[in-house]
Amino acid sequence: MYSACTRSGSRRRNQDAGLSGGRSSALEEMLGSANPFFNSKGRDVKRALQRYVAFPDGPELSFVKSALTKFGRPGMVYTGASITYGELLCAQVCAALMECAESVGLTWPAVCASMRQFIVELRRGDDDLQPLFEDPAVPQPAQRSVTSE
């Protein structure tokens, strides 16, 4: 039996290789309020994408942060609700993000590909992204210590 992590990783690799079984990616999108990330605030999306790209603090991460700041500026404000908005195509959201990345000089192909993939997975409502949205400052139920009295 495969774990959820293994299945999602295999699904991503197969899709990247063009072996998605002939399904349309438009059918796979979970848009609007049905998407679990619909209520995510802009800062949460920004933090999750930074974690998704997984750069240590350094010049690469500063470029990613700058691009995301432009991506969330007034007039664009890409929150969970607007990214999953059904009237916007995934290509439109990715193009806006890549425009912001280009405007700050972010040109690393691997980083740009990771950022686009994050948007695709977010629009699908992929459960694998959920840990990226969790606030590390708030202890999760499994992390709380039980004190004996």
Closest Cα to residue 63, out of 12, 16, 114? 114
Q: Which helix (H) or strand (E) holds 26?
A: helix 25-28
C-alpha–C-alpha distance, residues 71 and 93, integer Å: 10
Predicted pLDDT of residue 110? 86
C-alpha–C-alpha distance, residues 90 and 98, integer Å: 12
The answer to pTM > 0.75 is: no
Divide the 149 residues of the chain into consecutive groups of 10 and give the mean pLDDT of each group: 58 63 59 84 85 78 85 68 80 89 88 90 89 72 49
Predicted pLDDT of residue 77? 55
Any residues with CB less than 8 A from the CB of 115 and at least 6 apart, and which? 49, 52, 53, 64, 67, 97, 98, 101
